[in-house]
Structure 1
Amino acid sequence: MNALRSDFTASPEVIGLDDLYLSPLNPRQTHDEASIALLADSLVTCGLMQNLGGYRDGEGRVGIVFGGRRLAALRIAVARRPDLAHVPVALAPDEDTARLWAESENIAREALAPADEIRAYGRMRDSGATVAQIAQAFGVTEAHVYRRVKLADLPPFVLDALAAGKIGLGIASAFTVSQDTELSQQVLARVLSSSWALSEHEVRKMLQPEAVGLTDRRVRFVGEEAYVAAGGHLTRDLFSDAVFFEDVGLLDRLFAEKLEAAAEAERSREGWAWARKVDQSYFGSEAMDDLLGRGFARVYPVPVDLSEEETEEYGQLADLDHEGELDEAGEARMAELDAKSQAYLPNQKAVAGVCLYVDHSGCIRQMDGLIRAEDVPAAVEAGVIEARSTSAQTEAPAAPKSPYSGALVEDMKAIRLAAVQTALLDCPEMVLNLLAFGLSTASGVGTSIFDLQPGCPMNAPKEREGLIFSDRLAHPPRSYEAWSRPDLRCDDLVAAFREFVEQGKKARNAAITEGIARTLPYAAAEPDFFAMIEADSGASIRKVWTPTAANFFGRVSGAYLDDLFVSLIEAEASDSRVKAFRDKKKKEKADAMERLFGEPEYQAALGVTADQKARIAAWVPDCF
């Protein structure tokens, strides 16, 4: 046997069908007639996408050693497509190579590229072939054909990008949610120009920028059936159960109309003086405080005696609830009796109303017993509430308005968090103790001490002036553009991990300390525990932050600055320094306070004592 030509590369030659025959070397000597007929249909529709392979004999004819099924199908298809009378054939240089080709053909076949498959299946589908016929013709499963055929209607430029290897099947699949060719072109351009890999979810979001999904509270409240009946357009993701509601304006109108109707029904059914819808998903204490601050009042239902049987039943249900054995039906019955045990009186409803809103789950909730400012006099006259009362429960004067804006409070919380995180950088043992505690059941089920995703708790205020902020505590940017930076990507996790381990335990422990410290959130829900961490770590806001005109003093009132100045220098109102300060404009006061906190010369000019300097150095606003 001659040595095999391993360096040989066969270039197909175009040869007429009359000069081809099935070589005895070909392991496939018989073929199913039905499958050959289907393959012939495929060849008529799609043409020959893979060449044959053969060996030229002594008479000049070519024996086909691989592609025997295609040869048999070509002899049928040529009657409908004369151009198939001549086909490309790769010729083996010798008989040994031909025999190797014949043997390996039955072991491994090179699959069609995905884009070629999609286009071929699409053409056969368009010509009338069923999925089963396509699967049999190509020797694949029907499920495989179904997945590919779903992509057959993608815009040509998407399939071209897939064929060129510029995008994968997953990204190509994401484009099935869009019917907007121009938008699809724009999104594809963004995908191709991005220096980092966008996820399928991100691409779908870009293709449906205004659409909302099934979890949106408006969708849950209105319902798909009502939306479609009103002419709303849906887009379904062919590769998941996701549904997108594209006509957001229509959805908003249906939402408002349904909630308005529910409010009117509640008013008519219960006899309230008024009922109105509120476009929010939660009606908490802040919303109630806002209403009360605008002159609203509120009344509450009065107790109603239950019957003896109901009272006994309620007691039994309460015992079961206390023992943790109350089932769902029992909970519903207990809630029913709770509602029955109190009710609004007719004279209360005559001057009061109810606000209806839809929560995140799409369910209607309500806040009832509200009295509008203009109805307060009538409510007082009817004896429903007392004169001058803003609430049926209390006549306490309104609390003084906070001198700190909401934005300033949030900035100060971020600064306080940065101070604690900074202190933790120097307390690795405490960090490890906290980490172990947080990961153990000793901290209780559901307790969250650290955001270990890792998350990005806000530890930097909007106004960064005056903040000494370690780069070790900075969070990686979370925007698409920022994540495209090469220094923020990890293309080889294995290599990165090996390199990280080689740095040693000291570097590892420093990374743990840094990472855990950075992910400590501002625990408003557990203020005492956060305060303990703050104290034990030796954290101090003033170690990392100095108040300035830009970051603090310019964001509070002039009156606040007057009082602060007096308290810091311990002066009487008649003091000339106080008088001079009060006569300044707001901006001048803010600048003067900045100098008081940052310029020793200014402190000396004002006669600030050592104790007062210490007070200034330690001062932080009481806004937490």
Structure 2
Amino acid sequence: MKHKAIELDPRKLVVSEQYQARKTASQTPLPQLADSIATVGLLHALAVVKSKKRGFHEVIAGGRRLQAIHLLLDDGRWPEGQLVAGNLYDEENALLVSITENVQREQMHPADEFEAFAELISQGKTIEDVAAAFGVTATVVRRRLRLGRVAPALMQAYRDNELPLDALMAYAMTDDQERQVQVYSNLNMWDRKSPRVIRGMIEEAMTANHRLVHFIGLDAYQAAGGGVTRDLFADEDDLNGIYLIDRALVDRLTLSKLQETAASLTAQGWAWAEVTLDSEPVSNRYGRVYPEPVDLTPEQQATVAKLQTQEKLLMHDIAILEDEEEKADEDEWEALNQQLDELQEQIRAVEDQCAAYTDSQKKVAGCIVRLDYQGVLDIVEGLIRPEDRAQAQEQQQDADGVGRVSLPAVKTRPTHSERLVRQLTANKTAIVQAALANNPKVALAVLVAQLARRHFGAGYYSYGGFGLGISTSCEPLAADAPDFQESRAGQELARIEQHWGDVITPGSDGGELAWALSQDTETLLELLAYLVAVTVQGIQHQESSQANTLDQLAELLNIQMPEWWRATGETYLSHVSKDRLVEVVSEGASPEQAAPLVRMKKKEAVDVAEQALAGTDWLPSIMVIKQN
């Protein structure tokens, strides 16, 4: 459509009442649009026609921009004599131009806004600058910037319409991108879009039914000034419907109460007593001393004998009740069993007194004070810390030593950091996946073996797909291994993924099933190999010398690891210390080639090490396929 580019005096422009297609007000307030124009100028020319009033023009597309400019004129923020760019159209095409501009104008995708805002901030712009430039509030910019910190994989899912905006906002509750991807991967296709489920996974809500609240008491929390909210749809006595607002206060009250117990333990002679909110098993970094046997006193022996007699009588009564042909009284049966449980607990309590820790043991050992999963006080006694190992060894030699003891392992610095262990094992997992994806026979055997294990074992499994109780779970390898996508295994998996993506007919109406029914067995086996392969899991967080199921699969597939992965600056060498570089080159090449690295700076040493290892088959122990 022909038009003429002209420059116009904004004071001689009016909004056309006859040809303006937009009748519904925009969501962007005029003052914010005015701020944007004042900051970055008028980016799009106004569409105009000549007005019947001599010297004036009517705006047929861009009316709000003109109103914003008039605001700037009124505020004195429009430069004196500055003209406005316009495109002059014939009156016969005016309405069509107005409709076309408003219909075809495409808003910037919010994901692009997130990244654009972040880029501007990184260039030194303030939040207020960005808000003015885009014609939005500062609050909108802050929210966009927070959403811009979500993991790239989730942002791509949002771009691809696989995640709604409210779900993306739920993932942004944490800045930990690894945690975001982990939650996303562990949820099914419906729950990963549910803000409620996502928030619950990322930050578990604390209710009055939480183990810490059981320990300190809800009344104590509220007496200390802690606030609560209640679920309007929950029963009054439903503890899960009472939400505690101040999690930090709960932690402080719990630790304070645990510290009281710890103080009483050190008063009893223990060398130390630590408190923790963790309920996981005690770390194997601790050693232990074991209580010495102590004979029961005559009074204790008499108590046990009496309780055991009562125990036998109760067991006899329960047996008679269970043998009756008529239906036994359920309440009576439960009451007798309750009494039996209480009796047996009393017997155990007395018998526990036949073992006790000596004063010598307490001088070298300590306790951990914590809560179990139900919020009950749990004291783990007789622990030896790594730093007390030498003292415990000395006391073992004394005449009144510490008795039976297991010493903590000597603490040594691991060869590889946890992050590097995850990176290497992610790459190792990808290699097994790629090899398995190209071996349908083994993939089929693995799948059948897995299904057999699930069928003949215990437990229930979620249902999905076409009514089958089979589901898959894939580890986000790229999240742990930045070099994964450029690796040979990563490229091979991407190639296979692309192949099947081009071949399969997707669709919620069962398009995949229709496609599968039309394929031959060989094609289905090849696809099955890939689908089984990408479920292979093997990312580790700590080094281990033990063979695992990933090694078993790799051995089954006869994988030659050096053909898939080599130690380069990017994949390994730049992630370890210079001392480790010297050790690696000595092992993989020769001590003579390793010697000069000692005097080099780290970057130079990495480059030289990479050259020395080129053409060798050296692998770090993590990447070696271990034999069962």
TM-score between the two structures when normalised by the length of structure 2: 0.49
Task: Please identify the structure whose Cα radius of gyration is greater.
Answer: 1
TM-score between the two structures when normalised by the length of structure 1: 0.49
